[in-house]
Amino acid sequence: MIEDKHKPEIIFRGIPASPGISIGKVFLYVKEIPTAVERIIKPDEVENEIQKLRNAVKKSEKELLKILSFAQQKIGEGKSKILEAQIMILRDQFLLESLEKRIKTELRNAEYIVSDEIGKYEKMMLMAQDDYMHERAHDVDDLKNRIIRNMQQTKLISKFEEAAIVVAHSLTPADTVIFSRNTVLGYATDRGGITSHAAILSRALKIPAVLGLGDISRRVSHGDKIIIDGYSGIVIVNPSLEQQSKYQAKKEKYLQHEAKLVQIKNLPAVTLDNHKIELSANIEFEEEIEYVQMQGSQGVGLFRSESILINKESIPTEEEQYQVYKLFAERIYPNRIIIRTFDVGGDKIAPNTIEEANPFLGWRGIRIFLDHKDLFLEQLRAILRASTRKNIAIMFPMVSTVEEIIKAKEILEIAKSQLKSKKIKFDSNIKIGAMIEVPSAAVTADTIAKEVDFLSIGTNDLTQYLLAVDRGNNVVSGLYQEFHPSVIRTIKYIIDAGHKENKWVGMCGELAGNPLATVLLVGLGLDEFSVIPTILPEIKRIIRSIKYSDAKLLASEVLNLATTDEVLKFLRSYLQKNFKDIIINNNNK
């Protein structure tokens, strides 16, 4: 390896979207955005323009069908649905008719009308304050550009001879799949987040990816040497020889480590002294189910049902919801899926909700649905109808008082009796749980535990409310400390309160999936961990390598520490001593 003395090393930090380390050369994917110039046409050109539009739509459909069939072979039917959505838009008769009508009445060229009309949808989606919606807007943009490109008869270059790491401004699901026909070693993009479909597909294709890197695509050239670390989110362009050998060693270490993790995939999460933990996954999209199962999860500890509201102007009907919940329950069966009722408001999408000065302290989660009993009943009936296999549990978000649980249970009983009177089957013994993520609920966890079958700790919100730090505000992000003694002591309090009432206590906040916290949480007595699927095998390995008795001792020591720094130092040194190959995320606070 000869070091290029002329190019300085540049380090980027982004979002680790798909795990793995790759070292290779850059394939810079510059997607020329086709420009659609507005042109007034004569009436006798209308037919020609409409024909041009129809041909381009047909060609785009053919291209996408080809990509779809490749995707289905490579990653299976489930995940390929992402691409089907684009094809469905293309086949939407209403859209085509309105495009043709506008060409006729406005006497404008087809390229311009496509750009303007589809661009409107895109703008609407971009206006939503929601990452997922923004990602979908880019999928729509991709479709628009594909049609225009086909009208202009230009082509994208997506083939390369040598194995390479694709660097791009952004990648659509179609790009991600197309590139995987080459030897792609990884993806690094300016834009995109963990929920982008490109991220989900990269994980399914097992290609390391780091997204949200800012302006990387403008700062690299074709053929530059590059390292991407999909565990930590670090990308190094023009790495020194020293960095290259450091990452080569890290990569080998991880590969060996992952090979070991595969061996425990089907084994239970049990400690050396036989203390059993339930290890499940958090999911939002159907496309993730296969991956979750591949990772050896025991079920789903949190299905954020509000994900089905994305892209919708109103809440789906009971029947539509039933179809979704049924599908998830069937695919997860015989394992359990905990469906959390809609948690809208705060920073999340919310059809028909209102503007608030303080949304995180406002109309959010269960509060909205206790006020909208009709909508709540619809969701509860849909969940109940999907529960005939007896593998669904229901969980309520943003609970702040026990009265809310009592009211929710009354509404659940009404939903049950409505179904009974229509002789519709459901699991009459369905289990219900409360999320404990608001300090008032934590302090009264014993009272709440009396009313439910289980508690699930939402540390993402619990941390923000305990420490009075907005979880999405960069200015105060340094104060958002999941390892703060107040958070740890509150977790202990909730677990003890649940156990006193003989109820199991789980955790579905991000802390459950942080390897640094695993031994501590086991020691505090947590019964269930629900984690992001990528980290699941690592958490299982830690659980299987420790003794419950040791974890309890560690927890009692941590409970005596006074500051976040002390806690972190203590846990890091424990882990480094006992798990030399551990992957510790340096972003821990």
| Residue ranges in contact with ligand PEP by CB under 6 A | 302, 304, 343, 437, 458-461, 508-509
Q: Which of residues 198-237 bind Mg ion (CB under 5 A)?
A: none
Q: Which of 517, 511, 512 is nearest to 530 (CA)?
A: 512
Which is closer to Mg ion, CB of 224 or CB of 461? 461
Binding-site size for Mg ion (CB under 5 A) equals 3
- Between residues 138 and 364, which has the closer beta carbon with respect to Mg ion? 364
Q: Which does 509 bind (CB under 5 to 8 A by kind): ligand PEP, Mg ion, none?
A: ligand PEP
Residues 134 and 187: their CA atoms lie apart, in Å, by 20
Biggest CA-to-CA distance, the chain? 84
H/E stretch holding 460 = helix 459-467
> Least distance from C-beta 204 to ligand PEP, angstroms?
22
DSSP 8-state secondary structure symbol assigned to residue 589:
-
| Closest C-alpha to 359, from 274, 472, 449, 448 | 472
Phi and psi torsions of 550, nearest 5°:
-70, -40
Query: Which option in ligand PEP, Mg ion, none does residue 141 bind, with CB closer than 5 to 8 A by kind?
Result: none
Provide, rounded to whole angstroms, the least separation between the CB of residue 247 and ligand PEP. Answer: 32
Closest CA to 495 of 458, 550, 465, 457: 457
Task: Say whether 197 is catalytic.
Answer: yes
Name every residue whose Cβ is closer than 8 Å to that of residue 4 and which is 6 or more positions away in sequence: 225, 238
190 binds, among Mg ion, ligand PEP, none (CB under 5 to 8 A by kind): none
Which of Mg ion, ligand PEP, none does residue 508 bind to, with CB < 5 to 8 Å depending on kind? ligand PEP
Tokens 């927890």 belong to 555
Spot the catalytic one: 134, 197, 275, 484: 197
DSSP assigned state of 225: E
Among 139, 190, 427, 437, binds Mg ion (CB under 5 A): 437
Cβ proximity to ligand PEP, 72 vs 440, nearer residue? 440
Minimum CB distance to ligand PEP, residue 403 (Å): 21
**Beta strands per DSSP E along 460-579:** 504-507, 528-531
| Nearest residue (CB) to ligand PEP, 195 versus 444 | 195
**CB of residue 287 to ligand PEP, shortest distance in Å:** 18
Catalytic residue among 134, 138, 275, 508: 508
Provide, rounded to whole angstroms, the least separation between the CB of residue 438 and Mg ion: 9
Residue whose token pair is 């323009």: 49
User: Given the rule CB under 5 A, which of 38-46, 219-227, 431-439, 478-486 is the region that contacts Mg ion?
Assistant: 431-439
Q: Give the nearer residue to Mg ion in terms of CB position, either 427 or 461.
A: 461
Please report, as a single letter, which amino acid is at residue 513: G
Q: Which long-range contacts (CB under 8 A, 24 or more apart) does 263-266 make?
A: 264/296, 264/537, 264/540, 264/541, 264/544, 265/294, 265/295, 265/296, 265/537, 266/296
Token pair for 163: 């194995």
CB of 360 to Mg ion, least distance (A): 10
**Token pair for residue 75?**
């990653």
Complex with ligand PEP: residue 122 or 343, whichever CB lies closer: 343
- Using CB under 5 A as the binding rule, the residues of this chain from 445 to 474 that contact Mg ion are 458, 461
Q: What are phi and psi of 275, to 5 degrees?
A: -95, 120
Q: Which does 20 bind (CB under 5 to 8 A by kind): Mg ion, ligand PEP, none?
A: none
Residues 6+ apart with CB under 8 A from 160: 27, 182
CB of 316 to Mg ion, least distance (A): 22
- Nearest distance from C-beta of residue 397 to Mg ion, angstroms: 6
Nearer to ligand PEP, 263 or 587 (CB): 587
C-beta separation of 195 from 282 below 8 A: no
Q: Tokens standing for 132?
A: 């997922």
Q: Which is nearer to Mg ion, 461 or 510 (CB)?
A: 461
> Which residue type occupies 365?
G
Locate 324 and state its tokens: 């979704």
Give me 142's structure tokens.
Answer: 């991709």
Q: Is 508 a catalytic residue?
A: yes
Residues of this chain that bind Mg ion (CB under 5 A): 437, 458, 461
Active site residues: 197, 508
